[in-house]
Amino acid sequence: MFSKLVFSTLLFFSAMAFAQNTKAPNTVLMRGEPVRTYSHLPAINKPAPKFTLTDVNMNDQTLDSYKGRYVILNIFPSVDTGVCSASVHHFNEEAGNLPNTVVLCISKDLPFAQKRFCGAEGIKNVVMLSDFRSDFGWNYGVEMIDSSMKGLLSRAVVVIDPSGKIIYEEQVPDISQEPNYDAAIAAVKS
């Protein structure tokens, strides 16, 4: 009897610890249809989760590579869609006007596709990074976990200050819509 009580108590506390470490899914829309992401974006005023992503030359890039600068994370499903392409173009135009700021455009696209896109579109002011072999989507809560988009990243913007703290985040409610560029830019300028 005593061993059953001890076992039940241990099982209960193990389940509670697991529940506290498990993130709750978030729901966004894709043309009005619900799509779940792994979790929510990291909270404002918290340190940005570290990451290692792959650049267009197949080199690893980490968040620490940009320490001491404002970092805008432009996160999206694929450069081969109209809205994603528009966000890269918009941030490419804005990036040249933002002192001490780098814009990282992050998707699951392979680095080869990102490089082709930048060359064909004249993109030179942003850094394209691929999440094709990392856990960025899970750490930032943006990887879609169901629908035909499963495995891709949802549309979001995160702004990190030079000390590494998140000062702005936007999970775009419907991934078929563009992010609030003005709010992201204002976070860097404030």
Report the alpha-carbon distance of residue 81 to residue 87 in Å, rounded: 10
Confirm if 16 and 9 have CB atoms less than 8 A apart.
no
> Is 84 annotated in the active site?
yes
Confirm if 159 and 169 have CB atoms less than 8 A apart.
yes
Which of the following is catalytic: 35, 84, 153, 172?
A: 84
Q: Sheet containing 156-160: which strands, arranged edge to edge?
A: 60-62, 52-55, 127-130, 101-107, 70-75, 156-160, 166-171
86 CB burial (10 A radius; 0-12, 13-18, 19+): middle
| Structure token pair of residue 101 | 């700021």
Bridge partners, 75 (sequence order) = 106, 156
Single-letter amino acid code for the residue at 84: C
Positions marked catalytic: 84
